[in-house]
């Protein structure tokens, strides 16, 4: 015998966790995209939600930082249907995505057959993945999301290993070299809190309470900066905090404050990345100038708020 108490794992309808697909499920998935990334085996960086394509809106667009390709994510709260399959094909052409991820609680066999056919007959470099979404709990425990890959390219595992090996000595090492060079050229950034590493992003805290950071990022073909809250912070709350200082922020940053479901605000970007090392001095100079503008604008706007606390 044992004194350990066991419970029964229960599967729940997805709508018990998310009542509305576009208003709840898509924003949650966008803010917790690491759950999906872990399931399919590739890193994902969110780039947009409800992206317009003709008369439709693609649920989520992401980027695979391993090769800088576009990832399209279409999610449903009910069993798959022909309408979503047709929309996926429209988005695929309009957004130039190379990886398509279709998420649903269950898949009709004709739709799984379509995924298999696409993986077998499209050109190299395209991947179609079907992911079953589950919500489970034990007793009165919090809900837990589970993502299970039910269809993928036959050589998906080998392709991931090959791609990871190809970029391990180029992409990540290049980014580390870029950030270390940035720190060497502008040591004040390290003193202010930047930690150079191998990731795409480096961030520095601008305001302690409520915590706001400026995130600097460099990808293969683009470089940019944006304001966000702490990891997992509610985007609506951050928007509300920024809106209290809208006039000063918009004047200093030269762009309007707009709602953002992915938690990024006041995004600035240029179309140059780390692939061409000869561009690095220009990119690093742009980043430091942009950072100083964000730092000075945000801290000036919030100076009165922090003084009161």
Which residues in the chain land under pLDDT 50? 167-171, 306-309
CATH 3.30.1460 segments of the chain: 169-308
Q: Three-state SS for 210?
A: coil
- The two three-digit tokens of residue 231, written as one number: 């990891």
pLDDT of residue 308: 42
- pTM: predicted TM-score of the whole model, two decimal places: 0.57
pLDDT of residue 307: 38
Q: How far is CA 12 from the centre of its chain?
A: 26
pLDDT of residue 130: 94
How far is Cα 38 from Cα 36, in angstroms, rounded to an integer? 5
Name the residue among 80, 81, 61, 82 with its Cα closest to residue 71: 61
CATH 3.40.1350.10 segments of the chain: 9-165
Pick 9-165's CATH classification: 3.40.1350.10, 1.10.1780.10, 2.40.110.10, 3.40.50.300.
3.40.1350.10
CATH of segment(s) 169-308: 3.30.1460
**Could you tell me the sign of the dihedral formed by the alpha carbons of 50, 53, 56, 59, in that order?**
negative
How far is Cα 11 from Cα 130, in angstroms, rounded to an integer? 19
Which distant-in-sequence residues (6+ apart) come within 8 Å of 55 by Cβ? none
Extract the runs of DSSP E, i.e. beta strands, from 108-230. Answer: 127-138, 144-151, 201-207, 212-218, 223-228
How far is Cα 130 from Cα 169, in angstroms, rounded to an integer? 30
pLDDT of residue 133: 94
Task: Please give the biggest Cα pair distance in the chain.
Answer: 70
pLDDT of residue 287: 94
Beta bridge pairs of residue 146: 134
């Amino acid at each position: 015998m044992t004194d350990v108490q066991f419970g029964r794992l229960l599967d729940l309808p997805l709508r018990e966790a998310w009542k509305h697909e576009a208003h709840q499920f898509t924003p949650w998935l966008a803010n917790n995209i690491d759950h999906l990334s872990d399931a399919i085996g590739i890193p994902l960086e969110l780039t947009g939600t409800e992206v317009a394509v003709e008369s439709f809106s693609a649920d989520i667009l992401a980027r695979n930082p391993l090769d800088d390709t576009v990832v399209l994510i279409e999610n449903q709260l009910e069993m798959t249907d022909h309408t979503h399959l047709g929309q996926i094909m429209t988005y695929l052409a309009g957004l130039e995505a190379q990886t398509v991820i279709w998420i649903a609680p269950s898949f009709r066999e004709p739709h799984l057959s379509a995924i298999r056919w696409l993986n077998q007959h499209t050109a190299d470099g395209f991947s179609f993945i079907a992911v079953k979404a589950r919500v489970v709990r034990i007793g009165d425990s919090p809900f837990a999301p589970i993502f299970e890959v039910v269809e993928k390219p036959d050589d998906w595992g080998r392709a991931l290993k090959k791609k990871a090996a190809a970029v391990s000595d180029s992409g990540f090492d290049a980014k580390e070299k870029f950030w270390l060079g940035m720190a060497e050229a502008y040591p004040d950034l390290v003193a202010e809190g930047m930690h150079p590493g191998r990731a795409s992003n480096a961030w520095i805290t601008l305001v302690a309470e409520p915590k706001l950071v400026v995130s600097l990022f460099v990808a293969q073909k683009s470089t940019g900066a944006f304001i966000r809250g702490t990891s997992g912070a509610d985007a609506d709350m951050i928007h509300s905090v920024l809106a209290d200082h809208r006039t000063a922020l918009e004047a200093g940053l030269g762009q309007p404050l707009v709602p953002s479901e992915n938690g990024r605000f006041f995004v600035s970007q240029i179309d140059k990345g780390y692939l061409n090392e000869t561009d690095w001095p220009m990119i690093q100079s742009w980043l430091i100038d942009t950072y100083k503008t964000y730092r000075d604008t945000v801290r000036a706007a919030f100076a009165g708020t922090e003084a009161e606390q």
